[in-house]
Chain A
């Protein structure tokens, strides 16, 4: 039972570098989300998707892009990393709007 898998678990970037975080779920969920979690700020929604080929902006989308080419995968991209993007990133998925979220184990990203 893999559930929601995020890769990588840790990453250190220099300012201006780019990277992609991968989220994969094997539960056939329609909805997928990317959150970031910072001390004292709670979980904040970056982007989300309600189905294959669709994406939408959340609360804090600036500096990030996403793609949902396949139902099971949701990619989060940083084109030009900034120190303000140092955070823990969580991917989550669910079968519907009123159903519980299943979270990945998180990615600790540091931008120097």
Chain B
């Protein structure tokens, strides 16, 4: 089975840096995705990590440690539009299993 844990809610200040953690236990792990979901909208792709290490993409970076079953999403220079839920998802053989998501609120 799969077990994916992320914090339920986080609050951060505009212009700051925030790190959203995700830990997982799963069989047949292939890789880990991060998705962003604004309220009332569909999830949109942010990043995909297969190998250990940090992947940087503009203001967003994602890190993976396969041996520790751990990932984080780092958001820099926070903007008000970054207020959203951030979903961690792990891939199995043919499926993608999601955590419950972290609702991030960016305050002025």
Binding site for B on A (CB under 8 A): 31, 33, 35, 40-45, 48, 50, 56, 58-59, 90, 97-98, 100-106
Contact = CB atoms under 8 A, between A and B. Distances in A.
Say which size band chain B's interface belongs to: 20 to 34
Contacts, number: 54
A96 B33 CA distance: 14
Contact of B94 (A35, A97, A103, A106): A97
B48 A100 contact: yes
B41 A101 contact: no
Contacts of A100: 33, 45, 48
A97 B93 contact: yes
B95 A58 contact: yes
A101 B100 contact: no
